[in-house]
């Protein structure tokens, strides 16, 4: 316990909202947004989390999330796995009975992540300009409880995603998400049906409700 009292993470924000993405969409969730990311995707909507200095102990984080009446916690960023103490936080959340999801770019090895955590891994498409950062070995580590997400801004991105699904064995659910205000969701829906893909179309519920307002 003494170690946990002194273990800190750099936190951009902790907030309570509806989950806007993935299979828990619509469920009230506490979000823990860690600071820092080694990637610079050109469609990133959380650039405010790139930098900051707000170290919190794991005990303080647990106190913060404990005030909300939900068992769902989403650890996000930035890139949360860029902070090694994120693994300790994930373990602590699981030990305390939370249903935990981790949003990661997949550029960092996910093997050490607690197996009870639901990993939502965002493989970077060509339009992100960070495709070279993809760690494709992570795909084989995903299981039924996990999700492989593609953020798509063009037909070129879409075709690239189709190639990835053909070239890799994917055991998790697959999410296709249009870049907000860059690709019409109806166009992506039509392409999915045209190719008869077994994927889930994901639109960002929080942006439908609150637009691009930070913290939702």
Q: How far apart are CA 97 and CA 26, in angstroms?
A: 20
Mean pLDDT of 150-167: 97
Residue 216 pLDDT: 43
Residue 126 has pLDDT above 90, yes or no: yes
Half-sphere exposure of 187 (CA within 13 A, CB side): 14
For residue range 171-201, what is the model confidence (pLDDT) as tens digits? 999 999 999 888 999 999 999 999 999 999 9
Cα(73)–Cα(36) distance, integer angstroms: 19
pLDDT of residue 209: 85
Bond prior to 189 in cis (omega within 30° of 0):
no
Correct CATH for 2-210 of 3.40.50.11540, 3.30.70.920, 3.20.20.70, 3.40.50.150: 3.20.20.70
* Confidence (pLDDT) at 1: 45
Which of 3-7, 127-131, 161-165 has the least mean pLDDT? 3-7
pLDDT at position 128 over 80: yes
Mean pLDDT calculated for residue range 58-83? 97
20-48: average pLDDT: 93
Residue 67 reports pLDDT greater than 60: yes
Q: Where are the domains of the chain?
A: 2-210
Residues in the chain: 216
Give 48's DSSP letter: G
> What's the pLDDT tens digit per position in 102-122?
999 989 999 999 999 999 999
Q: Which of 153 and 212 is assigned the larger pLDDT?
A: 153
What average pLDDT does this structure show over 86-92? Answer: 98
């Amino acid at each position: 316990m003494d170690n946990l009292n002194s273990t800190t993470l750099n936190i951009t924000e902790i907030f309570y909202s509806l989950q806007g993405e993935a299979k828990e969409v619509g469920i009230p969730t506490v979000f823990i947004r860690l600071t820092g990311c080694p990637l610079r995707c050109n469609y990133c909507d959380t650039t405010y989390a790139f930098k900051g200095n707000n170290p919190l102990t794991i005990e303080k984080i647990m106190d913060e999330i404990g005030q909300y009446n939900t068992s769902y916690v989403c650890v996000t960023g930035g890139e949360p796995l860029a902070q090694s103490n994120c693994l300790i936080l994930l373990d602590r959340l699981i030990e305390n009975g939370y249903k935990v999801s981790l949003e990661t770019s997949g550029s960092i090895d996910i093997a050490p992540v607690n197996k009870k955590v639901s990993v939502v891994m965002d493989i970077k498409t060509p339009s992100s300009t960070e495709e070279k950062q993809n760690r494709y070995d992570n795909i084989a580590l995903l299981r039924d409880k996990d999700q492989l997400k593609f953020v798509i801004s063009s037909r070129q991105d879409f075709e690239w995603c189709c190639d990835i699904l053909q070239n890799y064995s994917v055991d998790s659910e697959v999410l296709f998400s249009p870049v907000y205000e860059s690709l019409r969701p109806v166009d992506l829906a039509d392409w999915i049906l045209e190719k008869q893909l077994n994927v889930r179309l994901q639109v960002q519920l929080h942006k439908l409700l609150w637009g691009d307002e930070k913290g939702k």
